[in-house]
């Protein structure tokens, strides 16, 4: 009887081991398989192609493999807002300015902020070939146009008002990529771009100021350029937010593991980028107050 039982047990162990190694090969990784149902999902409120999606893809590619991180595009900010406010999902990437500007302001507070992995300054630039333009021309009350995206238009209007530039007109030309395209076709006098894009085109663009706290690529800060501007420290920021504030502490540990790969380090090494915000909730509160004030 004992011999029979031992034989049965031995056969069962061998069969189970064979099943596991043929069904789930070692190359797949035990951790990856057993966490597959609990994969970290980064939800993007928009369609692919924008900055939010690009950053989400970079985070997923740079994440610790044990997270099994993936990106889901929700395609429409208003639809995503409804999903978020129902409490579904854990991590969303969402532009900080959207919390205060436009038609897709999600119902959130600083308690919902998990991380701010990417905060980018803006730069005011012009085509170098247009010698009549520049810092003196911008500060004068001569007629001028500034091309930018909708969210940043509010900032530019506020700065121009503080500087007394009544003849400056700010126009919107779509997405950030459209602003860069407009700078090739000379559709405007000046272009308000994200700094990391601007510095890649110094062969044909000259920038007057940036909205950060340090000089970038020989460009002074807006605070230095126009001390009378009340809200000069502005960042184009992307947040990781959650509808479940009870999970923020756990999700902050996960957020750290999303930023371990070379792809993320490369992306955030661009000039004008802050990649490690020590207190995301405080940063959200500070920037939101500035954004609300310029409206």
What total number of domains does the chain contain?
2
Q: Verify that 178 and 128 share a domain, yes or no.
A: yes
Q: Verify that 128 and 112 share a domain, yes or no.
A: no
The Cα 182–Cα 191 span in angstroms is: 8
* Exposure string over 150-186, b if 16+ CB within 10 A, otherwise e: ebbbbbbbbbbebbebeebbbeebeebeebbebbeee
Q: Verify that 125 and 205 share a domain, yes or no.
A: yes
In a domain, 147, yes or no: yes
In a domain, 3, yes or no: no
Question: Is residue 42 within 8 Å of residue 91, measured between CB atoms?
Answer: yes
Helix (H, G, I), strand (E, B) or coil at 107: coil
pLDDT tens-digit profile, the chain (295 residues): 444 444 444 444 444 444 443 444 433 333 333 344 468 999 999 999 888 999 999 999 999 999 999 999 999 999 999 999 999 999 999 998 887 777 788 988 999 999 999 999 999 999 999 999 999 999 999 999 999 998 889 899 999 999 999 999 999 998 888 999 999 998 999 999 999 899 999 999 999 999 999 998 889 999 999 999 998 999 999 999 999 999 999 999 999 999 999 989 888 888 889 888 999 999 999 999 888 887 7
Q: Verify that 210 and 265 share a domain, yes or no.
A: no
Q: Verify that 108 and 126 share a domain, yes or no.
A: no
Last residue of a domain, one of 165, 199, 225: 225
Question: Is residue 244 within 8 Å of residue 159, measured between CB atoms?
Answer: no
Could you tell me the residue range of the domain that residue 281 belongs to?
A: 39-119+235-294
What is the CATH number for 187? 3.40.190.10
Q: Verify that 207 and 240 share a domain, yes or no.
A: no
Q: Verify that 182 and 268 share a domain, yes or no.
A: no
In a domain, 15, yes or no: no
Q: Verify that 110 and 125 share a domain, yes or no.
A: no
In a domain, 230, yes or no: no
User: How many Cα atoms sit within 13 Å of 179 on the Cβ side?
Assistant: 30
What is the CATH number for 245? 3.40.190.150
Q: Verify that 152 and 60 share a domain, yes or no.
A: no
Q: What is the pLDDT of residue 100?
A: 73
């Amino acid at each position: 009887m004992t011999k029979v039982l031992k034989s049965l047990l031995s056969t069962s162990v061998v069969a189970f081991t064979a099943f596991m190694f043929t069904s789930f090969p070692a190359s797949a990784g035990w951790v990856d398989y057993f966490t597959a149902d609990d994969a970290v999902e980064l939800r993007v409120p928009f369609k692919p192609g924008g900055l939010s999606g690009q950053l989400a893809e970079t985070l997923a590619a740079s994440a610790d493999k044990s997270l099994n991180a993936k990106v889901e595009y929700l395609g429409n900010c208003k639809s995503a807002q409804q999903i978020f406010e129902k409490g579904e999902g854990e991590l969303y990437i969402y532009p900080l300015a959207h919390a205060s500007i436009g038609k897709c302001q999600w119902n959130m507070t600083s308690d919902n902020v998990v991380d701010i992995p990417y905060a980018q300054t803006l730069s005011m630039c012009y085509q170098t070939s247009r010698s009549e333009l520049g810092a003196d021309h911008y500060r004068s009350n001569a007629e001028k146009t500034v091309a930018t995206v909708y969210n940043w238009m509010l900032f530019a209007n506020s700065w121009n008002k503080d500087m007394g530039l009544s003849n400056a007109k700010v126009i919107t030309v779509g997405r950030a990529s459209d602003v860069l395209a407009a700078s090739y076709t000379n559709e405007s006098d000046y272009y308000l771009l994200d700094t990391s894009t601007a510095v890649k085109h110094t062969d044909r663009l000259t920038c007057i100021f940036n909205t950060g706290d340090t000089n970038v690529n020989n460009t002074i800060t807006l605070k230095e350029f126009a001390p009378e501007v009340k809200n000069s420290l502005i960042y184009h920021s992307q947040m990781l937010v959650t509808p479940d504030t009870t999970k923020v502490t756990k999700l902050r540990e996960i957020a750290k593991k999303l930023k371990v790969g070379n792809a993320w380090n490369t992306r955030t090494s661009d000039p004008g980028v802050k990649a490690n915000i020590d207190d995301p909730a405080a940063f959200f509160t500070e920037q939101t107050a500035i954004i609300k004030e310029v409206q």
